[in-house]
Amino acid sequence: MRNTWLIIKREYLERVRTRTFLALTLLAPALMTVLMVLPVKLATMGERIQHVVVVTSTPQFGEIVRQRLLSANSAASDSDDEVGSETNADKPASDKQYIIDVDSNPTEAERAVLRGKVASQAIDGYLWLSDDAIADGKVTWASRNMAGFAERSRLSGELNRIIQYARLSRNGFTGDQADLVLKPVKVEAIRIERGQETKDSSGKKLLEVVVMVMLIYMAVLLYGISVMRSVLEEKNSRVMEVLLSSATSTELMIGKIFGVGAVGLTQIVVWAVMAGVFALPSLAMSVDLSQLQVSPGVLVAFAGFFLLGYLLFSALYAAIGAITTTEQEGQQLQFIIVIPLVISVFMLNSAVKTPDAPAVVWLSMVPFLSPVLMYARIVIQTPPLWQIALSLFLLIATIAGLLALCARIYRVGILIYGKRATLPEILKWLKYAKT
Amino acid sequence: MSPGSERTPVVVNTVELANVRKSYDDFVAVDNLSLRIQPGRIYGLLGPNGAGKTSTLRMIIGIIVPDSGQVFVLGEPLSRTHTDRFGYLPEERGLYKKMKVLAHLVLLAQLKGLTSGEASKRAHHWCERFELTAWIDKKVEELSKGMQQKVQFIGAILHDPELIVMDEPFSGLDPASALALKDALLELAKNGKTILLSTHRMDQAERLCQSICLINRGRAVLEGDLDQIKANYGHCSVQIKYDGDAGFLHVPTLVQSFNDYGNYVEVRLMPGADTQELLQKACSKARLDRFEVMQPSLEEIFIEAVSKPNA
Evaluate if residue A77 carries a pLDDT over 50.
no
B111 part of contact set with chain A, CB < 8 Å: yes
Task: Tell me how close the Cα of A226 comes to any Cα of chain B, in angstroms.
Answer: 16
Q: For A207-222, write each residue's pLDDT tens digit.
A: 777 877 887 788 787 7
Task: Output A284 or B72, whichever has higher pLDDT.
Answer: B72
Lowest-pLDDT range, A9-18, A58-67, B216-225, B229-238? B229-238
Vertex A266 angle, CA A312 and A301, to 5°: 50
Would you give the distance in Å from CA A400 to the centre of its chain? 30
A2 part of contact set with chain B, CB < 8 Å: yes
List the single residue in A with minimal CA-CA distance to B67.
Answer: A432
ipTM: 0.77
Whether the pTM exceeds 0.80: the reply is no
What DSSP string runs through A259-273? Answer: HHHHHHHHHHHHHHH
Nearest to B88 among A245, A432, A433 (CB): A245
Whether residue A14 and residue B155 make contact (CB cut-off 8 A), yes or no, is no
Calpha distance A110→A23 (Å, rounded): 62
Q: For A317-365, write each residue's pLDDT tens digit.
A: 888 887 787 888 888 888 888 888 888 888 888 877 777 888 888 888 8
**A16, exposed or middle or buried, with CB in 10 Å at 0-12, 13-18, 19+?**
middle
Length of chain A: 435
- Using a CB-CB cut-off of 8 Å, the residues of chain A touching B157 are none
Nearest to B63 among A3, A18, A241 (CB): A241
Lowest-pLDDT range, A70-84, A151-165, B206-220? A70-84
DSSP secondary-structure letter at B200?
S
Q: Look up residue A187 and give its amino acid.
A: V
Whether residue A239 and residue B111 make contact (CB cut-off 8 A), yes or no, is no
Lowest-pLDDT range, A91-105, B5-19, B253-267? A91-105
B185 neighbors B40 (Cβ within 8 angstroms): no
List the single residue in B with minimal CA-CA distance to A233.
Answer: B96
Residue-level pLDDT at B103: 94
**Gap between the terminal Cα atoms of chain B:** 38
Residue-level pLDDT at B1: 44
- Using a CB-CB cut-off of 8 Å, the residues of chain B touching A238 are 90, 92-94
Calpha distance A83→A77 (Å, rounded): 12
A241 part of contact set with chain B, CB < 8 Å: yes
Evaluate if residue A248 carries a pLDDT over 60.
yes
Evaluate if residue A155 carries a pLDDT over 80.
no
Beta bridge pairs of residue B139:
B100
DSSP β-ladder status, B68-73 and B265-269: unpaired
Residue-level pLDDT at A435: 43
Q: Look up residue A331 and give its amino acid.
A: Q
Query: A288: how many CB neighbours lie within 10 A of its CB?
Result: 7
The CATH class of A49-182 is alpha beta
Of B38, B60, B44, B17, the closest CA to residue B197 belongs to B44
- Using a CB-CB cut-off of 8 Å, the residues of chain A touching B153 are none
Whether residue B98 and residue A434 make contact (CB cut-off 8 A), yes or no, is no
Section B183-198 average pLDDT: 92
Across chain A, mean pLDDT equals 77
Q: Look up residue B296 and give its amino acid.
A: P
Calpha distance A81→A221 (Å, rounded): 31
Residue-level pLDDT at B170: 87
Task: Tell me how close the Cα of B61 comes to any Cα of chain A, in angstroms.
Answer: 6
Largest distance between two CA atoms of chain B: 73
Instruction: Label residue A428 by pLDDT band (50, 70, 90).
Output: low
Q: For B197-208, write each residue's pLDDT tens digit.
A: 998 888 888 888
Section B32-55 average pLDDT: 89
- Chains A and B form CB pairs within 8 A to the count of 66
Helix or strand (DSSP H, E) at A321: helix A296-323
Give chain B's domains with CATH numbers: 3-230 (3.40.50.300), 234-295 (3.30.70.100)
A99 neighbors A50 (Cβ within 8 angstroms): yes
Where do you find CATH 3.40.190 in chain A? Answer: 49-182
A415 neighbors B64 (Cβ within 8 angstroms): yes
Task: Tell me how close the Cα of A4 comes to any Cα of chain B, in angstroms.
Answer: 9
Vertex A83 angle, CA A80 and A89, to 5°: 65
Calpha distance B14→A213 (Å, rounded): 56
Whether residue B90 and residue A238 make contact (CB cut-off 8 A), yes or no, is yes
Nearest to A245 among B63, B93, B97 (CB): B63
**What are residue B196's phi and psi, to 5 degrees?**
-120, 120
Nearest to A238 among B84, B94, B99 (CB): B94
